[in-house]
């Protein structure tokens, strides 16, 4: 859960969409919903590398790994177990 909160906090702090009504659900596709701009992917990757002290390879960079809070958590779990 703690991992989930850290990722969520980072995405929320960088949301391009600022309407008060918007709430970020764990399964929301942040790119398709326009919550963040497409350049955010790079920031998110840098954040993950820094925050969780891992190095991502080109194979990891599939946007599907980073398009929702849920998928980032899943990706990190897989990465740790691999």
Instruction: Tell the smallest beta-carbon distance from residue 19 to other proteins (Å).
Output: 11
Backbone angles phi, psi at 33, to 5 degrees: -80, 0
1 part of the interface to other proteins, by CB under 8 A: no
Binding track, positions 9-48, relative to other proteins; x by CB under 8 A: -x--xxxx-x------------------xxx-xxx-xxx-
Instruction: Tell the smallest beta-carbon distance from residue 42 to other proteins (Å).
Output: 4
């Amino acid at each position: 859960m703690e991992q989930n909160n850290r990722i969520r906090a980072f995405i929320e702090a960088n949301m391009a969409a600022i309407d008060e009504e918007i709430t970020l659900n764990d399964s929301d596709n942040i790119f398709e919903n326009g919550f963040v701009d497409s350049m955010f992917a790079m920031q998110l990757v840098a954040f993950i590398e820094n925050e969780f002290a891992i190095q991502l390879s080109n194979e990891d960079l599939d946007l599907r790994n980073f398009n929702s809070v849920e998928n980032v958590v899943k990706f990190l779990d897989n990465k740790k177990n691999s």
